[in-house]
Amino acid sequence: MDAPSSIHDLIKSLMDLQTPFPARLLYQFSDMPADDCQVLATAWLSVPMARRRAILQDLLELSEHDDLLMFEEIGRIALEDSDGDCQVSGISLLLEAEDPRLIPSFLNLLGAADKAEFVRAAAANALGFYIYLGELEEIKTDLHHKIEDALLLAYAEDPSDLVQRRALESLGYSSREEVPPLLRFASAKDSEEWLESALFAMGKSADNQWEALVLEHLDHENPEVKGQAIHAAGELGLSAARLRLLRQLDREKDEYLRSELIWALSQIGGEGIEEKFDQLLAKTDDDEEASLLEEALDMLNFTNEMLEFELLKVDYDREHELHDEEDEVEEPWDVDDDEDDGYEEIEDFDDDEWLRYVDEDEDDLDGSLDDSYTLEDPDDEDDL
């Protein structure tokens, strides 16, 4: 078995363009010790640009296939690269870092007019997650608003449509009052790219005001727009889309759209979905779709459990609301004679006399019995 390579061996291999970079050394970038990171950061810009780009792309591909690999350290180094492609790769490696300390770097890249539009757009995209954290109150309020302001400024003033659209997509997480009109305007533009971005943002909004617009585009002829509408329906948990998505799944052949349909249905839950997934799983010979269906079934079980919980909670709340309403109806004869509660004392109350009043005006039983008396002091109402 080969001995572990040192950081100096790693850098030497990076510098050697005459020899293909050993694939086994890629794993050395994962969870790199702090001292090694400092050495690599110092030497990084001395590595030929073509090799830097290739290594970062290899790490991105590797991370997509192995969730246990963590390349955040090299991602942070790449953020400081002078090359835009390397910076975008660094951003991609850091998308799941969930580290607010990255926010200043992303904001600087978003506002840097000298950076390529694809770099600014990648930074705008990365900031969306931190808007989400802000809505959950997991980052400071002033920082949350600073990110929103930067994205709104980019949407309004950046000369690139790509940057504007990515800024709008990230603003989908925001509850700022400025955002819904922007989404409506974008969806109404004569542009399928803007419509796609608007649907993406609607899906992130957790706001069912977009239900009609999302449902309207579930059959769009553009696969990218249709895919975003399907995804948004899943993210919003639109039960009104369930039957339509099930029917589409029966006839859809496009791999991308099928995966979106399966994912969305697993998020929506409800009748008929589990049976459909089981049928597809039993007859598919596609390993990737089988894996997707198995994951979707796991998610569906969770979704259905949550739906059942919500139904139970609604029933529970409704039952207690009815009980509370009944408790608010006070009996006029339930008076404590030992306390001065604002009523004239009732002496020698005659049951027959009471029944006579009821017979004469049966409608009184339908109203609040409290109407039988007039409070002399409203503050004494609690004494009933």
Q: How far apart are CA 290 and CA 306, in angstroms?
A: 24
Model pLDDT, residue 356: 39
Q: How many Cα neighbours within 13 Å face the side chain of 235? A: 20
Residue 269: left if φ>0, alpha if ψ -120 to 50, beta else—which one? left
Model pLDDT, residue 158: 98
> How many CB atoms lie under 10 A from the CB of residue 129?
18
Residue 284: left if φ>0, alpha if ψ -120 to 50, beta else—which one? beta
Model pLDDT, residue 363: 45
pLDDT tens over the chain, length 384 residues: 455 579 999 999 999 999 999 999 999 999 999 999 999 999 999 999 999 999 999 999 999 999 899 999 999 999 999 999 999 999 999 998 999 999 999 999 999 999 999 999 999 999 999 999 999 999 999 999 999 999 999 999 999 999 999 999 999 999 999 999 999 999 999 999 999 999 999 999 999 999 999 999 999 999 999 999 999 999 999 999 999 999 999 999 999 999 999 999 999 999 999 999 999 999 999 999 999 999 999 999 999 999 887 766 655 556 656 556 555 555 444 444 444 444 344 344 444 443 433 344 444 434 443 443 333 444 444 443
Asked if residues 101 and 140 have their Cβ atoms less than 8 Å apart, the reply is no
Q: How far apart are CA 97 and CA 53, in angstroms?
A: 21
Model pLDDT, residue 383: 42
- Give the tokens for residue 377: 């002091």
Model pLDDT, residue 319: 60
Model pLDDT, residue 366: 44
Q: How far apart are CA 17 and CA 201, in angstroms?
A: 43
Helices (H), the chain: 7-15, 34-43, 49-65, 72-79, 84-93, 103-111, 117-135, 141-157, 161-171, 179-188, 192-204, 211-216, 223-235, 242-251, 255-268, 273-283, 287-328, 351-360
Name the CA dihedral angle for 179, 182, 184, 189, rounded to a multiple of 10 degrees: -160
- Exposed/middle/buried for residue 24 (C-beta within 10 Å: 0-12, 13-18, 19+): exposed
Return the amino acid letter for 5.
S
Q: Specify the pTM.
A: 0.79
Taking CB atoms within 8 Å and a gap of at least 24, the contacts of 305-311 are 306/269, 307/269, 307/270
Model pLDDT, residue 5: 72
